[in-house]
Structure formats: structure tokens, C-alpha cells
């Protein structure tokens, strides 16, 4: 697409998203869309057609073939989507492109945008200005001014505790919040996540800040291409640096405290069991967004992504319960439903060249579309708290050329399958 037309389309997208967000912030909307309230708004009559025309229609979209299980009856979310993480097939969706407040699930885009910028071992001393502008009532990991943290520490704070303080410190390292927001919007455009407008990098409720179940799923799928993203997203618990103290003799010491992932399908809760095969990715909850969640799980060699936004049912952990029911349905329905759309690849991803070559897994030919084979995954390290990432690659096409661009022919497989391991 020529640059002027692309810029115009993005401008129109931003304008439309801003108008939608303003509608959500009207007095009537503010009174209703909280985590326990019934949504008062209705989805637009037509939405984006990215990924297929049916995904732009309001209501539930599913095409059951013979023997396919029916969808769960007790789903109350404003918007949700079930997709195959590797083929990109959308198995079912409900208001997939409805632009809604995303809450901290927007941190998936933040991480996917900034993770490649620094090595894990990079150290940063936190300045007072780094923590300026954090919204009232924000989730925090407990970062202290004048203390030094590694980038690894900060990302643990982002993924496990959804720490807005960690987001703001990393944004400061990236030359500020404004630049980070611009980087995130540019990356969203590259991923063809055109429902998304970023205003605050941490997902805090802001006028004009919107995303969709479809876009959040794109962010998760893109992030899962990165080893560090997969590791952080699947980490149940970790040690985080505390505050430096001095004893009576003036000797300084610095301890640690434990942080646990707030993703209840990964860590469990009193009324939610750890979901078999779960490997991340991110949850959120704000006044305007309600509860939001995107999860990835693997079963029998198939990897599914499920995003759920703002369940209306007033029940503790409802977003995880509805996600689990959609995962259960998706694993049973895979291969028995006709896709109603697809997760698109990045703009830079084009059809793989038939002449391109890639090594098959474990020395096999692994022939896929365009005559290429899958690239064998490299084993990832263990996450803290007994959760690791197992090596493995499923069928598909992924070619990395010298220029650094992924060339994909529809399928965009994960470099490594992410699997839950039994905790000791």
C-alpha cells in the first residue's frame, strides 16, 4: 500500500478508536462496564474485517461441522476469540473486533515492542522521574527510587505482578513514555492490529485507549515468537530485589521478596485450578475494561490462544473460568469446525519463497507449504517457580532470511512449544 494511503487509513483508525473510547467514557458507560456490572453498550453493527469478513460482524461467529461440540452456553464476556496459535485459524469468535479498554493485557504489546532493546543483564538505577505519572490505584511490583535493577528484574515485575512501576522504568530507559507509546502504536500497525490505539504503555484507563480481542491475540502470538517473552509469561513465581538497608555498623545489605504471577490459570486460586497445558500470557483489570485475559495453552501438540474481555457475570475469577471453558471447547472442536477467519501475520511477513530452504525438525524433511520445512526450535531455559519451556516445533513454515524478516506462508508456528511442567 502506498505510504499516503496507509497513513490515511491509520489516521482514520485512530480517530474511530478515539470516538469509541469517548463513548465508553460517557456517564452511562462509566456506571456500567466495571468488572461486576452488566455492559450497557452494544457492539457496532460493523467492525474491522481484518482476518475475514465474519470477524467484523457483531455476535457469535462459529461454523460447526459434523461431530463438533457446541459452544459453552454460559459465556458472558463482551468479546472473546479462540484461535490456533500456529495456523492462525480462528475457530470461533464473539465481537472479535469490538474496540474496548484493554487494561493490562496491553502490556503484551509493550513487552513485544521493548523486549529486544536490552540484554537481561542490563542494569538501571531508578530515578525519581522514572516513576512519575503512574496512575492512582495502579498495580505495582514495589520498585524503589535510587535502587538498581536488572532488565530481567523489571520484566519479571511486568509479567508476574503487572507492575506499572516496572513499565514506567522501562519506558524511561526507552527515552520516555511518549516515545514508548509511539513505538507501541507503530508496532501495532506493523502487526495489523488496527483496532488498537495506545495512550498509556501500561494499559491504565485513558481516554482514547482501546484494543480488541482480535488485536490482543495478535500481540500474544507475536510475543510468543520471542524466547524471553515465553519464559516470563510462563513463570509462576520469582524472587524480586528488595530495598537496601544498613545495619548498626553501617553495612549495607539487600534482600529479596517473592512475587507470584497473577494469572490464575497459571498460578491457581481458591476457586480456579491451574489449567493443564497453560503457558501464559497476560491478565488485566481496570474500571473501564473490567477483567481481561489472553491465554495460551498446549494439548496434544496443538497450541490455542484464547482472549476474553469483560465478562458480565458477577463472580470471582470469572474471566479465567470463561477462558478455561473456551480452551476446553477449542481443543475438542479443533479439526471439527470450519474457521471463521484467521490471525493475520505482520505486514513484513509475505508468502515464503518456494526456493527458500530451512532445516526440518530432528533432521526430518518437514515439508510444508511452499515446499519449505519448519525451523527446529532451540530449547529454552527454565522459568522460576518450576515452570519451564520445553523444546519442540510443530509443522508449519518459518524461514528467517539474512535480511532479518520472517517470511511466512499463512502458518506462523511457535519456535518452541510452551508446556507446563510439573512443579516440584
Give catalytic residues, as residue numbers: 104, 107, 162
User: CA 118: distance to chain centroid?
Assistant: 20
Which residues neighbour 403 within 8 Å (Cβ) at sequence distance 6 or greater? Answer: none
> Of 368, 376, 375, 378, which is closest to residue 410 (Cα–Cα)?
368
All three cell numbers of 338: 470450519
Question: CB of 314 within 8 A of CB of 32?
Answer: no
Which residues neighbour 270 within 8 Å (Cβ) at sequence distance 6 or greater? Answer: none
Question: CB of 310 within 8 A of CB of 33?
Answer: yes
All three cell numbers of 80: 472473546
CA distance linking residue 176 with residue 186, whole number of Å = 16
The torsion angles phi and psi of 307, rounded to 5 degrees, stand at: -120, 135
Angle, to 10 degrees, between the axis of helix 213-223 and the axis of helix 107-114?
Answer: 30
Helix (H, G, I), strand (E, B) or coil at 371: helix
CA distance linking residue 329 with residue 92, whole number of Å = 10
CA distance linking residue 116 with residue 293, whole number of Å = 24
Reduce the secondary structure of 152-166 to three states and give it as a string: HHHHHHHHHHCCHHH
All three cell numbers of 88: 492462525
Residue with cell 460493523: 46
Amino acid at each position: 500500500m502506498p505510504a499516503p494511503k496507509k497513513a490515511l487509513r491509520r489516521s482514520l483508525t485512530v480517530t474511530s478508536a478515539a470516538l469509541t473510547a469517548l463513548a465508553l467514557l460517557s456517564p452511562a458507560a462509566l456506571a456500567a462496564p466495571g468488572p461486576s456490572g452488566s455492559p450497557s453498550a452494544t457492539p457496532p453493527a460493523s467492525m474491522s474485517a481484518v482476518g475475514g469478513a465474519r470477524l467484523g460482524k457483531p455476535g457469535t461467529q462459529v461454523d460447526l461441522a459434523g461431530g463438533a461440540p457446541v459452544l459453552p452456553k454460559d459465556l458472558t464476556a463482551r468479546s472473546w476469540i479462540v484461535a490456533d496459535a500456529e495456523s492462525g485459524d480462528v475457530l470461533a469468535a464473539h465481537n472479535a473486533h469490538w474496540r474496548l479498554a484493554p487494561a493490562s493485557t496491553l502490556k503484551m504489546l509493550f513487552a513485544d515492542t521493548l523486549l529486544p532493546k536490552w540484554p537481561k543483564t542490563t542494569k538501571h538505577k531508578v530515578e525519581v522521574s522514572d516513576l512519575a505519572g503512574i496512575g492512582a490505584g495502579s498495580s505495582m511490583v514495589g520498585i524503589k527510587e535510587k535502587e538498581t535493577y536488572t532488565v530481567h528484574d523489571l520484566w519479571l515485575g511486568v509479567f508476574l505482578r503487572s507492575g506499572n512501576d516496572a513499565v514506567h522504568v522501562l519506558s524511561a530507559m526507552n527515552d520516555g513514555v511518549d516515545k514508548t507509546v509511539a513505538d507501541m502504536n507503530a508496532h501495532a500497525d506493523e502487526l495489523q492490529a488496527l483496532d488498537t490505539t495506545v495512550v498509556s504503555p501500561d494499559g491504565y484507563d485513558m481516554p482514547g485507549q482501546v484494543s480488541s480481542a482480535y488485536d490482543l491475540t495478535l500481540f500474544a502470538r507475536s510475543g510468543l515468537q520471542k524466547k524471553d517473552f515465553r519464559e516470563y509469561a510462563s513463570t509462576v513465581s520469582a524472587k524480586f530485589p528488595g530495598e537496601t538497608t544498613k545495619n548498626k555498623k553501617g553495612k549495607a545489605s539487600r534482600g529479596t521478596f517473592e512475587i507470584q504471577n497473577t494469572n490464575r490459570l497459571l498460578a491457581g486460586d481458591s476457586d480456579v485450578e491451574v489449567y493443564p497445558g497453560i503457558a501464559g500470557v497476560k491478565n488485566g483489570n481496570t474500571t473501564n475494561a473490567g477483567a481481561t485475559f489472553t491465554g495460551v495453552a498446549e494439548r496434544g501438540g496443538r497450541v490455542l490462544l484464547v482472549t476474553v474481555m469483560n465478562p458480565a457475570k458477577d463472580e470471582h475469577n470469572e474471566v479465567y473460568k470463561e477462558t478455561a471453558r473456551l480452551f476446553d471447547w477449542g481443543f475438542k472442536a479443533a479439526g471439527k469446525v470450519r474457521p471463521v477467519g484467521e490471525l493475520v501475520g505482520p505486514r513484513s511477513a509475505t508468502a515464503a519463497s518456494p526456493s527458500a530452504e530451512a532445516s526440518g525438525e530432528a533432521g526430518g524433511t518437514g515439508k510444508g507449504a511452499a515446499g519449505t520445512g519448519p525451523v527446529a526450535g532451540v530449547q529454552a531455559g527454565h522459568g522460576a517457580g518450576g515452570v519451564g519451556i520445553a523444546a519442540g516445533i510443530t509443522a508449519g513454515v518459518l524461514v528467517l532470511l539474512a535480511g532479518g524478516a520472517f517470511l511466512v506462508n499463512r502458518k506462523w508456528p511457535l519456535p518452541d512449544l510452551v508446556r507446563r511442567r510439573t512443579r516440584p
